[in-house]
């Protein structure tokens, strides 16, 4: 899979921009704050209908414009097709083959991307929220059903939290509606946890092999799902639901004190172990970067396995964060097989033949020239 053509209208600093890409490597060179990352972000937004940099869609619209629009022509094994995402102050609309999609969950997954930026190192060393977002976004690309289930879960969580909030400070809550919400919440939570566990097992299979290769066989990477409830991943759905019901009953008093739901997938986390040590707490910076790189390369392989298409790889100012060995491992892996976009201030420090044969785009003050 690759993107052939991109057109931006009123997107970030670009009033109008049209670009044609190589199906292999595309490198955007320029100083910081010139507009390189905006192009990279637009490809990600076209695929995922949301930015990796901001949760406020209005920031994507050019200053004083009423709307922003991203158009792309994507090639997969069946042929080429147009994609379009429009952003207004009222919301977003996506089109595939000129047909508007009634739900964005139907839109996502048509074009698969893997983003690797310096902030992705935070998947390993950052907050649980970052890791939950990572897993939800990646599952959503290969399973549109998951996005629908996630929206259902978030709606039920919001409704349950609302009732806890208005009853905050009480000793107990005798509300039929609350009991109904709790039952629905548990069933939805089990579905989310089940999908996450299945995804992590697939990711583990790839990441363990890749990490072993990068570390020259000296390290073993293990990915674990850490449920706040303490449930056992080996349980079936009914056993999980019974256990969650029990845990929610145990924390009911604390939930009423705080006015929020304290147990569920919205509070779960991932843990990365290298040779059985928590890499977030005990790992060196090199081990943390190797873990992040292994995850990204595993994502590529997993998406290929599940969709039968290689995803598009977006490397936003990340090569400078990797030493020569990890750079080479990354570029050797994607060479000739994965369409890749790279942003960098200079290619001088990147000694790899893949970069030497790339299509070059020079970016200066929002103007892009092709070499």
pLDDT in tens, 46-84: 999 999 888 889 999 999 899 999 999 999 999 999 999
Q: What percent of the chain has pLDDT over 90?
A: 68
In the structure encoding, which two tokens stand for residue 258, read together? 């705080």
Query: Which pLDDT value is given to residue 310?
Result: 92
What is the C-alpha separation between 255 and 303, in angstroms, rounded? 39
Tell me if 36 is assigned to a ligand binding site: yes
Tell me if 34 is assigned to a ligand binding site: yes
Mean pLDDT, the chain, rounded, equals: 91
pLDDT tens sequence across 276-325: 999 999 999 889 989 999 999 999 999 999 989 999 999 998 887 788 88
E strand residue ranges, 104-226: 113-116, 221-226
What is the C-alpha separation between 343 and 137, in angstroms, rounded? 22
Residue 162 CB neighbours (<10 A): 13
Neighbouring residues of 217: CB distance < 8 A, sequence distance ≥ 6 = none
Cross-strand pairs, 3: 74
> What phi and psi, each to the nearest 5 degrees, are found at residue 40?
-60, -45
Helices 324-334 and 285-307, packing angle to 10 deg: 0
Per residue in 187-219, is it b (16+ CB within 10 Å) or e — as a string? Answer: bbbbbbbbbbeebbebbeebbbebbeebbeeeb
Q: Residue 193 pLDDT more than 70?
A: yes
Tell me if 343 is assigned to a ligand binding site: no
Query: Which pLDDT value is given to residue 237?
Result: 94
**Which domains are delineated in the chain?**
1-112+309-370 (3.40.50.300), 121-308 (1.20.1050.90)
Confidence bin at 351 (pLDDT 50/70/90):
low
Average pLDDT over residues 255-273: 95
Q: Residue 254 pLDDT more than 80?
A: yes
Terminal-to-terminal C-alpha distance of the chain:
24
What is the C-alpha separation between 43 and 7, in angstroms, rounded? 10
Average pLDDT over residues 7-16: 95
Tell me if 37 is assigned to a ligand binding site: yes
Average pLDDT over residues 206-219: 92
Per residue in 324-350, is it b (16+ CB within 10 Å) or e — as a string? Answer: eebbebbbebbeeebbbbbbbeebeeb
Q: pTM higher than 0.85, yes or no?
A: yes
> What phi and psi, each to the nearest 5 degrees, are found at residue 5?
-145, 140
Q: What percent of the chain has pLDDT over 70?
A: 99
Q: Residue 105 pLDDT more than 90?
A: no
Cross-strand pairs, 339: none
Tell me if 271 is assigned to a ligand binding site: no
Tell me if 333 is assigned to a ligand binding site: no
What is the C-alpha separation between 157 and 149, in angstroms, rounded? 12
Residue bearing tokens 């190192």: 121
* Residue with the larger pLDDT of the pair 174 and 252: 252
Tell me if 24 is assigned to a ligand binding site: no
In the structure encoding, which two tokens stand for residue 4, read together? 């052939």
CB under 8 A, 24+ apart: contacts of 200-204: 200/135, 200/224, 200/225, 200/270, 202/302, 202/305, 202/306, 203/138, 203/295, 203/298, 203/299, 203/302
Measured CA distances, 110 to 30, 101, 156 (Å): 30, 12, 28
Tell me if 33 is assigned to a ligand binding site: yes
Q: Residue 14 pLDDT more than 80?
A: yes
pLDDT tens sequence across 109-126: 899 999 988 778 889 989
């Amino acid at each position: 899979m690759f993107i052939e053509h991109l057109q931006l209208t009123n997107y970030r600093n670009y009033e109008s921009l049209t670009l044609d890409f190589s199906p292999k490597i595309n490198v955007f060179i320029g100083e910081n704050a010139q507009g390189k990352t905006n192009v990279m972000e637009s490809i990600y937004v076209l695929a995922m209908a949301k930015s990796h940099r901001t949760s406020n869609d209005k920031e994507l619209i050019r200053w004083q414009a009423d709307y922003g629009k991203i158009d792309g022509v994507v090639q997969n094994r069946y042929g080429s097709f147009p994609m379009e995402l429009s952003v207004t102050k009222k919301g977003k609309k996506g089109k595939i083959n000129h047909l508007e999609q009634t739900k964005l969950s139907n839109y996502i997954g048509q074009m698969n991307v893997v983003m690797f930026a310096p902030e992705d190192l935070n998947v390993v060393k950052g907050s649980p929220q970052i890791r939950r977002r990572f897993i939800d976004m990646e599952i959503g690309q290969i399973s549109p059903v998951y996005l629908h289930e996630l929206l259902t879960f978030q709606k039920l969580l919001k409704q349950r939290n609302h009732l806890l909030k208005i009853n905050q400070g009480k000793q107990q809550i005798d509300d039929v509606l609350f009991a109904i919400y709790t039952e629905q919440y548990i069933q939805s939570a089990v579905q989310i946890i089940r999908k996450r566990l299945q995804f992590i097992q697939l990711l583990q299979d790839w990441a363990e092999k890749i990490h072993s290769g990068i570390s020259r066989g000296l390290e073993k990477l293990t990915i674990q799902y850490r449920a706040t409830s303490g449930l056992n991943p080996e349980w079936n759905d009914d056993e999980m639901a019974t256990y969650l019901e029990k845990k929610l009953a145990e924390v009911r008093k604390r939930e009423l004190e705080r006015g929020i739901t304290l147990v569920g997938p919205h509070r779960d986390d991932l843990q990365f172990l290298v040779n059985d040590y928590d890499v977030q707490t005990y790992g060196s910076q090199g081990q943390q970067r190797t873990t992040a790189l292994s995850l990204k390369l595993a994502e590529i392989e997993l998406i290929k396995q599940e969709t039968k298409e290689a995803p598009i790889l977006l490397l936003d100012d990340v090569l400078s964060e990797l030493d020569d060995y990890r750079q080479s491992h990354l570029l050797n892996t994607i060479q000739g097989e994965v369409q890749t976009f790279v942003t960098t201030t200079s290619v001088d420090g990147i000694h790899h033949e893949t970069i030497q044969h790339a299509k070059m785009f020079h970016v200066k003050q929002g103007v892009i020239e092709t070499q």
